[in-house]
């Protein structure tokens, strides 16, 4: 890969208004979390119902007991702080980002974008292999400079303080962030809302985007001109229908009345865990045991990022703001930049290739993955790493 910056002397150099940052949770906040967990008022559950009505109480009690007595936030904090982090103000909003530069001079800048209910914690195991491929089974030419922001309203970029932070406004903020770090051209990778924003970045500034790699492909379904769906498309439509029928209630709430939901989730760590863990259980390729897909410590690291920053309410507002503005779905015009799609089998929505071609006119790589679900960077980091490397290597 070749460097994609304006000049090697200035690329990646934070500009005025970008301040170094580290995460430091106080001892008082840690004690408060443990005390709240110890005083959780647990609801009833119908015996034997398991996950049938939502998060299983027995599992959640065990997880929260571990969070209270055993989980080591300080080790997570150290792991996070090993990477350079920065904050800057864009459009009146604080934006936090990990900015880890490779030692390889020809490294390609890569913007990694998370979604909901994720955070930058998803990408911690990828940053080392991306920035230092030689030490992690790759080649020097596979190197990336990694820019991994917390989306406005999430974790250390939040909470948002005014209306209007929809996917379109976040897109503009991310382009400004890349300017602040001195990158004229760069690659983009994303899933969930990160894929929505990544797609919008590619559409808004195609001259700046080297390539777009997605593990969640933002598309509409079939149109009348398609004729009868293929057998594969019938299966995909059945999967989408099942999710909409039984697993999309959170979208309705978060798109309409996120503030009402925020009170309970901000006040109760067990409530926060109950809301998010249900999604992790349902959206991962876990066979009914979420911890076979995402480790207990990874689950709690992500929950803790929301808890200590008090951003669960503002994170859910991305649904409401984007719904009200109409900026949360597929774009009317196809994205023209080179695109790579990693199709994980347990993803929430999986389009067929011809549906995707209507929205991305230059798909260079379409890979049907063997395992994994919605949280690719956590569930299958090695497979996602391989896809990122292969896609961008082919563009060199």
CA torsion 36-42-43-48 (nearest 10°) is 140
Give the CA angle between residues 145, 147, 152 to the nearest 5°: 175
Cα 158 to chain centroid, rounded: 15
Tokens of 136: 């992690």
| CA-wise closest residue to 144 among 154, 133, 155 | 133
Tokens of 108: 């390609």
> What angle in degrees, to the nearest 10, is found between the helix axes of 312-325 and 258-267?
170
Q: How far apart are CA 198 and CA 202, in angstroms?
A: 6
CA torsion 380-385-388-389 (nearest 10°) is -150
Q: How far apart are CA 143 and CA 185, in angstroms?
A: 15
Cβ atoms 254, 316 nearer than 8 A:
yes
CB burial of residue 136 (10 Å; 0-12, 13-18, 19+):
middle
- Spatial strand order in the sheet of 144-150: 18-21, 85-90, 93-100, 144-150, 108-113, 186-190, 209-214, 339-343, 363-368
Tokens of 179: 């300017």
Q: Is the peptide bond before 117 cis (omega within 30 degrees of 0)?
A: yes
Active site residues: 192, 319, 374
Cβ atoms 98, 83 nearer than 8 A:
yes
Q: Is the peptide bond before 159 cis (omega within 30 degrees of 0)?
A: yes
Q: How far apart are CA 137 and CA 132, in angstroms?
A: 9
């Amino acid at each position: 890969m070749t460097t994609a910056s304006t000049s090697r002397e200035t690329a990646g150099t934070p500009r005025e208004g970008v301040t170094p940052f580290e995460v430091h949770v106080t001892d008082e906040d840690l004690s408060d979390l443990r005390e709240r967990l110890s005083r959780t008022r647990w609801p009833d559950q119908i015996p034997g119902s398991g996950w049938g009505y939502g998060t299983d109480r027995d599992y959640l009690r065990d997880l929260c007991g571990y969070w209270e007595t055993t989980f080591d936030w300080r080790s997570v904090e150290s792991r996070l702080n090993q990477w350079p982090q920065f904050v800057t103000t864009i459009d009146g909003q604080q934006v936090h980002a990990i900015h880890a530069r490779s030692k390889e001079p020809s490294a390609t800048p890569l913007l990694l974008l998370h979604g909901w209910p994720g955070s930058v914690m998803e990408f911690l195991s990828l940053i080392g292999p991306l920035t230092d491929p030689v030490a992690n089974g790759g080649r020097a030419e596979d190197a990336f400079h990694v820019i991994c922001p917390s989306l406005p309203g999430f974790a250390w970029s939040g909470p948002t303080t005014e209306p209007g932070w929809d996917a379109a406004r976040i897109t503009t903020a991310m382009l400004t962030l890349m300017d602040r770090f001195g990158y004229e051209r760069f690659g983009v990778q994303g899933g969930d809302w990160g894929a929505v924003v990544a797609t919008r970045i590619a559409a808004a500034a195609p001259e700046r985007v080297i390539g777009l790699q997605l593990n969640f492909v933002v598309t509409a379904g079939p149109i009348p001109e398609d004729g009868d769906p293929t057998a594969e498309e019938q299966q995909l439509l059945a999967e989408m229908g099942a999710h909409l029928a039984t697993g999309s209630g959170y979208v309705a709430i978060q798109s309409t009345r996120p503030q009402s939901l925020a009170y309970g989730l901000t006040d109760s760590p067990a409530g926060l865990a109950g809301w998010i863990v249900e999604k992790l259980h349902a959206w991962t390729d876990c066979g009914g045991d979420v911890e076979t897909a995402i480790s207990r410590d990874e689950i709690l690291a992500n929950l803790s990022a929301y808890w200590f920053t008090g951003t669960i309410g503002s994170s859910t507002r991305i649904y409401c703001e984007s719904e009200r503005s109409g900026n949360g779905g597929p774009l009317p015009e196809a994205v023209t930049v080179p695109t790579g799609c990693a199709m994980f089998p347990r993803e929430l929505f999986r389009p067929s290739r011809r549906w995707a071609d209507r929205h991305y006119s230059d798909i260079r790589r379409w890979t049907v993955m063997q395992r994994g679900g919605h949280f690719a960077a956590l569930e299958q980091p090695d497979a996602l790493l391989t896809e990122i490397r292969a896609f961008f290597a082919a563009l060199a």
